[in-house]
């Protein structure tokens, strides 16, 4: 890129667009986050690149990636913007607003949270708990939620992580399928129809890891059904389509109801699920109550299984 007008003034709007685009991984997601049109992000980044005389992003089929210069700039300016936004939030009135927004995956909302919401509301009738579901971690820490439970591993300097529950997994299937495999021996699962979760986030447990754990041959597996929506994966297992990987906190109620049965034992990893919240921003009383309740409920899910 030609270094034209390299001493030009740089707009705060351009820098905010650049920071949002880097975090979100696409101009469209950045536009959604900032509440502007995609063209505004595109033009802001183009003007910033022209003013600096460097290219900040590489455009790919999957979105954008920062160049070396872009990554260096982001590292230097991202945290100050976080601090500015914190200061603005602290200056706002109604810090004791009893509304709390919790961002979770569709499967966590469907198979874990919905059964427990009524209990929380009975115990905290003054708190308005708003649930938003997202099956991607791209918006963690940058949307309007107060608390996030990401699908994968999110390690961000501007977020605080507290343990939600351990990651415990095991193979699960409809009763007739599980009972047949358990009768024939666990290794017979290598000939079973498998249901696979296509993970669009920082990957967690997989079928290959399950086979490696038991030292079984994992080549030429019969993947009968695959989806990037874990709710559909579990429904396929319930419907008898095959065997799925079951995260205990999500399948515990289905196991208790007899809709699914374990195939073999469980595996506990060293990769717990986390609840995240913004660093340096005091939690409201309502948000703290949701955080405490979610943490206790998450631990109880595993302890009673």
5 lies in a domain?
Answer: no
**At which residue do the structure tokens 């009673």 appear?**
304
CATH of the domain at 144: 3.40.190.10
Phi-psi region of 264 (alpha: psi -120 to 50; beta: other; left: phi over 0): left
Report whether pLDDT(289) > 60: yes
187 and 249 inside one domain = yes
- The residue among 91, 112, 144 that closes a domain is 91
**At which residue do the structure tokens 């992000």 appear?**
41
pTM over 0.95: no
Q: How far is CA 153 from CA 48, 65, 203, 246, 281, in A?
A: 31, 19, 8, 18, 22
As given in the structure block, the two tokens for residue 185 are 């021996």
Where does the pLDDT of residue 3 fall: very low under 50, low under 70, confident under 90, or very high at 90 and above?
Answer: very low
1 lies in a domain?
Answer: no
d(CA 40, CA 36) in angstroms, rounded, equals 7
DSSP 152: S
Given this model, what pLDDT does residue 99 score? Answer: 87
User: CA 139: distance to chain centroid?
Assistant: 8
221 and 277 inside one domain = no
Report whether pLDDT(152) > 60: yes
d(CA 278, CA 103) in angstroms, rounded, equals 13
173 and 149 inside one domain = no
Least confident of 28-32, 65-69, 177-181, 271-275: 28-32
247 and 277 inside one domain = no
84 and 216 inside one domain = no
Given this model, what pLDDT does residue 221 score? Answer: 77
60 and 123 inside one domain = no
183 and 53 inside one domain = no
82 and 158 inside one domain = no
254 and 276 inside one domain = no
Count: domains in the chain: 3
**What's the whole-number mean pLDDT along residues 16-20?**
91
Query: Which range marks the domain in which residue 288 is found?
Result: 99-165+272-303
188 lies in a domain?
Answer: yes
CATH of the domain at 64: 1.10.10.10
- The residue among 28, 62, 91 that closes a domain is 91
């Amino acid at each position: 890129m030609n270094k034209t007008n390299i001493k030009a003034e740089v707009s705060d709007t351009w820098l905010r667009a650049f920071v949002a685009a880097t975090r979100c991984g696409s101009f469209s997601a950045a536009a959604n986050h900032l509440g502007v049109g995609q063209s505004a992000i595109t033009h802001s980044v183009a003007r910033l690149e022209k003013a600096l005389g460097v290219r900040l992003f590489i455009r790919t089929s999957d979105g954008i990636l920062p160049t070396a210069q872009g990554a260096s700039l982001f590292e230097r300016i991202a945290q100050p913007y976080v601090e500015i936004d914190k200061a603005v939030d602290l200056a706002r009135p109604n810090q004791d607003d009893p509304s709390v927004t919790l961002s979770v995956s569709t499967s966590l909302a469907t198979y874990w949270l919905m059964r427990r919401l009524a209990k929380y509301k009975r115990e905290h009738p003054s708190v308005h708990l708003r649930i938003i579901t997202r099956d991607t971690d791209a918006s963690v820490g940058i949307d309007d939620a107060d608390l996030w439970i990401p699908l994968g591993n999110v390690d961000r300097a501007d977020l605080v992580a507290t343990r939600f529950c351990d990651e415990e997994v095991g193979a699960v299937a409809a009763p007739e399928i599980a009972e047949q495999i358990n009768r024939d021996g666990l290794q017979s699962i290598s000939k079973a129809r498998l249901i696979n979760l296509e993970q669009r986030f920082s990957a967690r447990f997989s079928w290959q890891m399950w086979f490696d754990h038991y030292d079984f041959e994992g080549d030429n597996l019969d993947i009968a059904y695959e989806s990037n929506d874990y709710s559909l994966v579990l429904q396929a297992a319930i419907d008898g389509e095959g065997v799925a990987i079951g995260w205990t906190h999500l399948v515990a109620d289905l196991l208790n109801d007899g809709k699914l049965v374990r195939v073999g034992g469980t595996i506990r990893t060293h990769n717990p699920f986390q609840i995240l919240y913004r660093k340096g921003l005091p939690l409201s009383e309502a948000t703290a109550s949701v955080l405490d309740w979610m943490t206790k409920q998450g631990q109880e899910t595993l302890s009673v299984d």
